[in-house]
Chains A and B, each alone.
Chain A
Amino acid sequence: MTQLKELLSTLEHVAKHPAQVINKCLEDKRLMIGCTPEYCPEEIVYAAGMLPVGLWGGATSIRNANQYFPAFACSLVQTTLELGMRGVYDQLAGVIIPAHCDHLKCFGQDWKVAVPQVRFIPLAHPINRKLEAAVEYLKSEYSRIKSVLEEIGGKPISHQDLSEAIEVYNLHRKTLREFTLIARDYCTTITPSVRHNVIKSGYFMDKLEHTQLVNSLIGELKKAPPEEWKGQKVVLTGIMAEPKEILDMFEEYGLAVAADDLAQESRQFRTDVPEGKDPLERLARHWSCMEGCSLLYDPQKNRRFMLKTMAEESRADGVVACIMKFCEMEEFDYPIYKKTLEEAEIPLLYLELDLATPSLEQVRTRIQSFAEMISLKP
């Protein structure tokens, strides 16, 4: 039990105080590369011997970034740029910014001028991702990023480095998948915010070390029998479930997380990098293999069926759509899966979230009403 508490507190500490981990990295003279949402080839950074650090914005008010962004840019890009402009990321040797959506496209361009001290490494994924030409194109993008990282690090990145990094990452993915499965049987210990912190801490740690800690956590959890849960369980979908207060509200109103379909959480680790000979090609093919995210071109919109299956298999009482305010990508998908879930009589809550100016009282009313609704459901 003590061991379990220690593990949870270590992971929570990392999730809440990434600066301390980063300072340690600086002491060790290990270079760090920022990886912004939603999908970056972290394995290449890792293969270069550097630490990939996830930059997913934060709860801060906007004072500088509005010089570059209109008010209707999502708070994920706005707060990340704001923190960059305030010098919070000055220790990074570079930042990879993909261009999944219109906001991210502007974000990369803005970063170049607004945060010139941290090198901007652009990345454009192919949209029509199932074509062989898309794999070839993305491989060339990754190859360019590899060259930039070689230049920054002053040493070449070998095939073996890349293959080893992929193994480390696939093992990490497998471990987090196992954790999310186990977590649903221990809802009292693994509260929504604990679950989030366990996953989030991985953005600031060496993946090997994080894998070990999460593995130990799984071992400790399994020592006790599954916990009885008297409240309700929900599936979270969307980009991310922050600001953190909302997860505390879930807990307050007796909602546990049965499974998630969040870009910051399970979408990162539910699909392994496929096998193959050429590591860069494997990484590029990964993009073609992933499914069920608003940022992945999917003319069949299979996400709706994935969500329905996820809710049914995890025996969730409902689904909560955590929609980042002004995120068109998620907004486009919403009516499609809403219809499917409604047909399956799975309750759905639309929760609009904003990292910079959260109106938490309204969010509270929504969460509490939803919790009351599903708990009273005949």
Chain B
Amino acid sequence: MITAGVDIGSTSSKVVVLEDGKKILSKVIIPVGAGSSGPARAFEQSIREVNLSREDIKRVIATGYGRTHFPGADQQITEITCHARGVYELLPGVRTIIDIGGQDAKAIRVGQGGIVSNFIMNDKCAAGTGRFLEVMSRILEINIEDLADLAALAENPASISNTCTVFAESEVISQLSGGTSREDVAAGIVNSVVGRVAGLVKRLGVQSEVVMTGGVCLNWMIIRMMEKELAIPVMASPMAQLTGALGAALFAFESAR
């Protein structure tokens, strides 16, 4: 049986196509999300790659911020529930998930059988989210993927506020014009996100094992700083930003069975 999970985030669309709830047939990431052509394109591409049509897919579950607006879905489940399911499949020992999304951050407690037993969401401000990293990378004139490497070269990480993106933006500009090195500013940016999100995780209660999901977990510097901040090892999800789509595809398989 073939099922699919479509995770429509605010900045990207991710699809996982699964056979019999086990074998990943295709996975696609398109860097545009809710409200764009991204979700439809990602879905099309994921089934085309394996020569399938929509009729071949027994069940499609949409998740993520744009889940309610994806016309091809049979059901919608939130990214919180889907990330927990995806992580449980990949790393069954995980109890704490940190998911830094495009415009919010979540700390999720995974209970028995991969079921969420508690969660906290931060969506008040872009501070502590992927959007924050994006805005700051633009000021530093680098690609977001290069932020970790730049931050690793810091000698004296700058101190950058983590309460408001707009203030942080002007802080970064004034630090740069005041002569602080780009490396130190980059490290300050990473610290800022980590500080904000770690606060969220501490509120939930840190329980081993801890994993990070979402695109931000590809930033190895954030993982390392998070470990330091939480004083516990933190892993990156092997499927990074595809973890939620995997969870959705698994739910689709379980409910269609």
Contact = CB atoms under 8 A, between A and B. Distances in A.
Interface of A: 347, 350, 359, 361-362, 364-366, 368-369, 372-373, 376-378
30 contacts: A359-B123, A361-B65, A362-B104, A362-B123, A365-B65, A365-B78, A365-B79, A365-B80, A366-B121, A368-B76, A369-B78, A369-B80, A369-B81, A369-B116, A372-B78, A372-B80, A372-B81, A373-B80, A373-B81, A373-B115, A373-B117, A373-B118, A373-B119, A376-B81, A376-B115, A377-B111, A377-B115, A377-B117, A378-B112, A378-B113
Contacts of A378: 111-113, 115
A378 B116 CA distance: 10
A283 to B, nearest CB: 41
Interface in B71-88: 76-81
Q: Which of B104, B118, B120 has the most CB of A within 10 A?
A: B118
Nearest to B123: A362
Nearest to B119: A369
Given A361-B65, A364-B68, A368-B78, A373 B116 contact: yes
Contacts of B79: 365
A362 B117 CA distance: 19
Contacts of A366: 121
Nearest to A325: B124
A365 B81 CA distance: 10
Interface in B228-251: none
A364 B63 CA distance: 12
A22 B65 CA distance: 41
Contacts of B111: 377-378
B116 A372 contact: yes
A368 B80 CA distance: 9
Most B C-beta atoms less than 10 A away, residue of A364, A369, A377:
A369
A138 B118 CA distance: 43
A361 B115 CA distance: 23
A361 B119 CA distance: 17
Nearest to A367: B78
Interface of B: 65, 68, 76-81, 104, 111-113, 115-121, 123
A144 to B, nearest CB: 42
Contacts of A377: 111, 115, 117
Contacts of A376: 81, 115-116
A365 B117 contact: no
Contacts of A368: 76-78
Q: Helix, strand, loop or mixed for chain A's interface? A: helix
Most buried by B among A364, A376, A377, A378: A376
B64 to A, nearest CB: 9
Contacts of A373: 80-81, 115-119
Given A369-B78, A377-B111, A378-B111, 20 more contacts: A361-B65, A362-B104, A362-B121, A362-B123, A365-B65, A365-B121, A368-B76, A368-B77, A369-B80, A372-B78, A372-B80, A372-B81, A373-B80, A373-B81, A373-B115, A373-B118, A376-B116, A377-B115, A377-B117, A378-B112
Identify which of B78, B80, B115 gathers the most chain A CB atoms within 10 Å of its CB.
B78
Contacts of B123: 359, 362
Most buried by B among A362, A366, A373, A378: A373
Closest 5 CB pairs of A and B: A369-B80, A369-B78, A362-B123, A372-B81, A373-B116
A226 to B, nearest CB: 29
Nearest to A349: B119
Q: Tell which of A347, A350, A361, A372 has the most Cβ of chain B within 10 Å.
A: A372
B143 to A, nearest CB: 28
Contacts of B80: 365, 369, 372-373
A347 B104 CA distance: 22
B128 to A, nearest CB: 14
A361 B67 CA distance: 10
B236 to A, nearest CB: 23
Given A359-B123, A362-B104, A372 B77 contact: yes
Contacts of B77: 368, 372
A377 B81 CA distance: 12
Contacts of B119: 369, 373
Contacts of A364: 68
Contacts of A359: 123
A350 B119 CA distance: 10
A8 B136 CA distance: 54
Contacts of B104: 362
Contacts of B115: 373, 376-378
Nearest to B68: A364
Nearest to A373: B116
Contacts of B65: 361, 365
A362 B102 CA distance: 13
A376 B116 CA distance: 8
A359 B77 CA distance: 19
A78 to B, nearest CB: 18
Contacts of A347: 117-118
Contacts of B81: 369, 372-373, 376
Nearest to B77: A372
Contacts of A350: 120
Contacts of A369: 78, 80-81, 116, 119
Contacts of B76: 368
A370 to B, nearest CB: 8
Nearest to B112: A378
A366 B112 CA distance: 20
A257 to B, nearest CB: 21
Contacts of A365: 65, 78-80, 121
